[in-house]
Amino acid sequence: MTINVHHVTRIEGHGNIRLQATDGRVEKVLWQVPEAPRFFEAMLRGRSWQDVQTVVSRICGICSFAHSLASIKATEAALGLTVSQQTDQLRQLAFGGEQLESHVLHVGYLVAPDLAGVKSVVPLVSSHPEVVKAVIRAHRLGNEWMELLGGRRTHPVSFRPGGFGKLPTEKELGDLKGRLMNVVQDLKLIAATVTSLAGKLPAFERPTEYVALTSPGCYTFYHGQIGSTDTPDTVAVERFEEIANEHVVAQSTAKWARWHRESYAVGALSRFKLNHAWLHPLATTTARDLGLTPACCNPYMNSVAQVVESVEVVEAALELIDQLLTRGIKAEPLRPVRPKAGTGVGAVEAPRGTLFHRYTYDDHGVCTAANVCIPTNQNHANIQKDFEALLPEVIDEEEPRVRLLFEMLVRAYDPCVSCSSH
Amino acid sequence: MKKLRMAIFDFACCEGCQLQIVNMEEGLLDLLDIVEPVEWREAISDQSEEYDLAFVEGSITREEDEQRLKDIRQRARILVALGACAVNGGVNRLKNAPDMDEVRRCVYGNSATMPHLATAPTKAVGEVVKVDFEVRGCPMSRREFTYIVRCLAAATTPVVPTYPVCVECKLRETVCRYEFNEVCLGVVTRAGCNAPCPAGGQWCYGCRGLVDDPNVNGAKDIMDKYGKTVADLRSRMELFNSVEARQCQGQ
Ligand code: SF4
Ligand code: SF4
Ligand code: SF4
Ligand SMILES: [Fe+2]
């Protein structure tokens, strides 16, 4: 058996699957990343603190809010800026929009075709019209939600160190609330459809270390410390280099990471395993209906965890909007900033997992050093380890089936490959 | 009318411009009446030998990518550069430095000399192959993309604005960012985006490229009025227009 998938389709960026086996003996099993590296950490040197978010947002078109928010948190930490509760809550609200948009895009447009046995979402428009319409509506809502809070749906412009350049009105937040209440029906339909197709997900289990931000009492995407299923202790985000241990391997232009084991996983499944106790009620029920349990070690179930999180972010957003409207939106103009030398870290849970940015500024607020560690970097080694465990299990199956199982495994991680070769 | 066979390819970039195509939602379904995607790795699992319309997103940063791009050019009747990365190199040009080895070391440390991490100075698509049309912006605008595709399907030449972003910004009645003591590049940047950045609470950072004849003196009047220097403008101009930023060094 020889399988060479040169550039896996329906993922972000370029990755290859290389498998070779003779008489049931594995000879080669590789997850390769040949993506052109872009050198963002070098590009940031010499940039003003005011322009850093503009640059790093371009690391990833699909999670530009995650990069922008991690970036602004890092710059604020470095310059010693604090923000109001209103700013903090509006950012969390904005970020929910990106989780919904990204998860629905992944599950609805990229994973669903595999479950239905087709090559793209296009045939599903006629075979599954109702659920495709629900996917489109939920995806568009995610986008318009982002646009309202971030000023634009890709590469936001409203988030600024210290606060917001433009605030939503109370009326706009009220309208968003109404639309969020309506999208719950669509999410229920999507979840029911995924439940009916979940049997198509391979029953493959490989326990690994699962890592996510954690903050007791909250299913967090925006605050918290680094948690792991391998240790009860959490680690401050300022020490992220010590847990990620990024290193270069010959099969990938994107760095790999490892902590307690040879590899670890980040993303929706990791967040669910660490933080499930704090899901909102409907998200908890959705997880139960989908058969997702905290003991799950099946990487293919990451897409299912994304469905649960899509419900979670809508419930959390409804709560945030109520709190914001009860207090009323206050103008809060940006205050002048006096730059100072310093270093700061910002961390968030991007849709695909934990994201870290570190910047050092000189006393003119010019960036002199940067380090960015991306979720997919932290997943690459884990994908490789999954490959190594999966191939012996399926080695006797037909080649097209093996190829599909490996492609589906890569897609399950929702990898952002060009992001990881930043 | 025969549908245009459309393909989308990406090089070094964030893939945010492709995402704008997905973000058209139902608008994308309408577009499928005039184009047929035959190769689009991010969305479909098909491949094709020839295309009427090839969209190329991203910058060219490696020898092997130049070859891949030339191959695409040979198969494509019309080639369109999609987004700032493809049109002029976008933010990727920020990495261009006299010493590329130092740039590699900055990111990859002791591993920097490994052959698979090789990189060359960033090029725009048009520096490697002939480009027939451009869709500017970072990200490109969905409206302009649709307009250009419809023009090409109807074999007409798209017309895009050549005046500065300020014109669109004033039409929207956005409060000028200079009133907030900020430096905005709208005065020298090509319009066509409808000035979303000032409206969203930030300055224009010039992602659509500069107007053909940037009125640097006009910009200078504004700089003087608000107590800014052309140097302030230049550092921001480097983000998406580093070549021009260096050229205006002396002024
Ligand atoms: S032009 Fe901007 S949005 Fe488009 S691919 Fe390049 S960085 Fe991404
Ligand atoms: S905000 Fe910028 S684009 Fe708008 S009018 Fe002022 S300078 Fe021009
Ligand atoms: S306002 Fe400026 S930065 Fe914003 S999209 Fe238009 S050209 Fe680009
Ligand atoms: Fe990095």
Q: Where does the pLDDT of residue B217 fall: very low under 50, low under 70, confident under 90, or very high at 90 and above? A: low
B92, B124, B153 - which closes a domain:
B153
Query: How high does pLDDT run on average in chain B?
Result: 91
Bridge partners, residue A228, by sequence: A211, A231
For B154-158, what is the mean pLDDT? Answer: 93
What per-residue confidence (pLDDT) applies to B47? 79
Chain B residue with Cα closest to A168:
B200
CATH 3.40.50.720 fits A2-420, yes or no: no
Assess whether B64 and B188 both reside in one domain: no
Q: Where does the pLDDT of residue B251 fall: very low under 50, low under 70, confident under 90, or very high at 90 and above? A: very low
Answer whether residue B22 shows pLDDT above 90: no
What per-residue confidence (pLDDT) applies to B220? 74
Assess whether B48 and B143 both reside in one domain: yes
Subunit contact A155:B196, Cβ cutoff 8 A: no
Å from CA of B85 to ligand 1 middle = 6
Phi-psi region of A81 (alpha: psi -120 to 50; beta: other; left: phi over 0): beta
Please report which residue ranges of A118-245 form alpha helices under DSSP H.
122-127, 129-150, 170-197, 240-244
The CA distance from A124 to A117, in Å, is 10
For B177-202, what is the mean pLDDT? Answer: 95
- With tokens 């600024």, the residue in question is A160
Q: What is the pLDDT of residues A116-158, one digit of tens each?
A: 888 888 889 889 999 999 999 999 999 999 999 999 999 999 9
Cβ-Cβ contacts under 8 Å for B248 (sequence gap 6 or more): B216, B230, B234, B237
Question: Which DSSP helix (H) or strand (E) runs through A317?
Answer: helix A302-327
Assess whether B185 and B216 both reside in one domain: yes
Subunit contact A122:B114, Cβ cutoff 8 A: no
Query: How high does pLDDT run on average in chain A?
Result: 96
Q: Where does the pLDDT of residue B51 fall: very low under 50, low under 70, confident under 90, or very high at 90 and above? A: very high
Assess whether B62 and B123 both reside in one domain: yes
Q: What is the pLDDT of residues B78-122, one digit of tens each?
A: 999 999 999 999 999 999 988 899 999 999 999 999 999 999 999
Answer whether residue B124 shows pLDDT above 70: yes
B104, B129, B153 - which closes a domain:
B153
As a whole-number percent, the residues of chain A with pLDDT over 70 amount to: 100
Does ligand 2 come within 6 angstroms of the Cβ of B183?
A: no
Atom of ligand 2 nearest to the CA of B184: 2
- Residue A321 is which amino acid? I
Q: Where does the pLDDT of residue B249 fall: very low under 50, low under 70, confident under 90, or very high at 90 and above? A: low
Assess whether B143 and B182 both reside in one domain: no
Task: Work out the burial of residue A73: count CB atoms within 10 Å of its CB; fewer than 13 is exposed, 13-18 middle, 19 or more buried.
Answer: buried
Atom of ligand 1 nearest to the CA of B140: 4
- Residue A102 is which amino acid? S
Question: Which DSSP helix (H) or strand (E) runs through A347?
Answer: strand A342-350
Ligand in nearest proximity to the CA of B166: 2
Q: What is the pTM of this model?
A: 0.97
Assess whether B106 and B148 both reside in one domain: yes
What per-residue confidence (pLDDT) applies to B83? 98
For B178-191, what is the mean pLDDT? Answer: 94
For A272-294, what is the mean pLDDT? Answer: 97
Assess whether B182 and B104 both reside in one domain: no
- Residue A204 is which amino acid? F
- A vs B, Cβ pairs < 8 A, gives 162
Assess whether B148 and B183 both reside in one domain: no
Give the domain extent around B108.
Answer: 4-153
Q: What is the pLDDT of residues A95-107, one digit of tens each?
A: 999 999 999 999 9
Subunit contact A9:B45, Cβ cutoff 8 A: yes
ipTM above 0.85, yes or no: yes
The pocket around ligand 3, CB under 6 angstroms, is made up of B 137, 165, 189, 193, 195-197, 204-208
Atom of ligand 2 nearest to the CA of B189: 3
Answer whether residue B216 shows pLDDT above 70: no
Does B224 map to a domain? Answer: yes
Cβ-Cβ contacts under 8 Å for B2 (sequence gap 6 or more): none
Answer whether residue B250 shows pLDDT above 60: no
Answer whether residue A350 shows pLDDT above 80: yes
- Could you write out the DSSP letters of every residue in A269-311? HHHHHHHGGG--HHHHHHHHHHT--TT---GGGHHHHHHHHHH
Decide the pairing of beta strands B133-135 and B76-82: parallel
For B178-194, what is the mean pLDDT? Answer: 94
What per-residue confidence (pLDDT) applies to B215? 66
What per-residue confidence (pLDDT) applies to B42? 78
Assess whether B137 and B181 both reside in one domain: no
Assess whether B69 and B179 both reside in one domain: no
Instruction: Please report residues of A whose CB lies closer than 8 A to that of B86.
Output: none
For A248-277, what is the mean pLDDT? Answer: 97
CATH number at residue B88: 3.40.50.700
Q: Do A103 and A306 touch, CB atoms closer than 8 A?
A: yes
For A316-338, what is the mean pLDDT? Answer: 97
Answer whether residue A193 shows pLDDT above 90: yes
B126, B153, B180 - which closes a domain:
B153
Does ligand 1 come within 6 angstroms of the Cβ of A58?
A: yes
Looking at the 3D structure of chain B, how many domains does it have?
2
Does B160 map to a domain? Answer: no
Does B158 map to a domain? Answer: no
Distance from CA of A278 to the nearest CA of B (A): 31
Question: Which DSSP helix (H) or strand (E) runs through A346?
Answer: strand A342-350
